Structure 1
Amino acid sequence: MRVVIGLGSNVGRRLENLQGAIDTLFDAPGLEFVAMSSVYETDPVGGPEQGPFLNAVVIGETTLDPRTLLDRALGVENAFGRVRAERWGPRTLDVDLITVDDVTLSDPDLTLPHPLAHERAFVLVPWVEADPAAELPGRGSAAALLASLDQEGVRRRPDLKLQPPA
């Protein structure tokens, strides 16, 4: 199954946090690297006053079920000091499952596809870069969804580079 993972950080060593997430996510069996986007600096959306984020999207192939992927994502966030003090607050690392193949799921712990992905330029811009033919299940083409959004707060950072997992 193809999995799309959104990464974000606006606390601490933001780029190192994103790179560490990529390395850690793909270090264990069951998840193989396919592609990733460039790094984008983005204005925070919702939540309290806070600094800008670095965001990226990484795409993989997995044999893991969505709940196991969620557990891995939460474990990576915890390893990088993620504190959930307030909703949409500042964070060292955010690891979001955007899609897992065409799986649809809605429960208190996990909703797939991600319920807000279709309205978040900071997700769609890097995702469309990494996979121009991307489809958001139930919503259609990621590129078409992106065309209807304000992208002003999403800036590509060519000076910042992420490396594929070793």
Structure 2
Amino acid sequence: MSVRAYVALGGNQGDPQARVREAFAALDALPDTRVRKRSSLYLTPPWGVTDQPDFINAAAALDTALDPWALMQALLEIERQAGRTRDGQRWGPRTLDLDLLLYGDRVIDEPGLSVPHPRIAERAFVLLPLAELDPALDVPGQGRVDALLKKIDASACKRLPPPT
């Protein structure tokens, strides 16, 4: 049985636009998984550690038969293949960052996996692409994406034009 999952994509090292586009393809190539929608790319300021280049961010809606833990492991492997090394620095520069935002209507809070993503409602760089995919999407325990987006300042995030 397939479940709708949402993944945030981002990066700010190397060629982040190319890296995010490659990650969309890698997600679509996962077993029993298809990318159903992909957002535009957004240029966004860094969050947390601000002394670093701006990020390219996006979101994808997947239909997957992978369980949430298998999907999370697959996301980590795609990051690794893109040159991501998890060195323990939180919110630092990275070639690629993939976050499992939502997995159906499941709420999971276990070591290594928290769904919905714990900071989803704070981050314009997550909510803007999600709102593009499905503004009425319900984040369990937090509300609709469009309502969450109205509560934060997203003015520093810029939607990029599609590639020519």
Instruction: State the TM-score, normalized to the length of structure 2.
Output: 0.94
Q: Is the 8 A contact 1:15 1:160 kept in 2?
A: no
CA distance in 1, matches of 2:150, 2:72: 29
Structure 2 gap segments, 5+ residues each: none
Q: Alignment partner for residue 42 of structure 1, among 44, 49, 52?
A: 44
1:3-152 matches, within 5 Å, as 3-47=5-49, 49-85=51-87, 86-152=89-155
Secondary structure at 1:99 match in 2: strand
The range that moved more, 93-102 or 13-22, is 13-22
Which amino acid in structure 2 is aligned with residue 32 of structure 1? R
CA distance in 2, matches of 1:157, 1:34: 20
Which amino acid in structure 1 is aligned with residue 60 of structure 2? V
Secondary structure at 2:59 match in 1: strand
Structure 1 gap segments, 5+ residues each: 162-166
CA distance in 2, matches of 1:28, 1:140: 29
Q: Is the 8 A contact 1:41 1:52 kept in 2?
A: yes
**1:164 alignment partner in structure 2:** none
CA distance in 2, matches of 1:158, 1:138: 33
% identity of equivalent residues? 40
Moved segments of 4+, more than 6 Å = none
Secondary structure at 1:41 match in 2: strand
CA distance in 2, matches of 1:29, 1:2: 15
CA distance in 1, matches of 2:162, 2:66: 34
CA distance in 2, matches of 1:15, 1:160: 10
Deviation of the 1:159 alpha carbon: 4.6
Secondary structure at 1:47 match in 2: coil
Instruction: State the TM-score, normalized to the length of structure 1.
Output: 0.93
The change in CA–CA distance for 1:116 and 1:19 in structure 2 (over 3 A counts) is same
Deviation of the 1:29 alpha carbon: 1.8
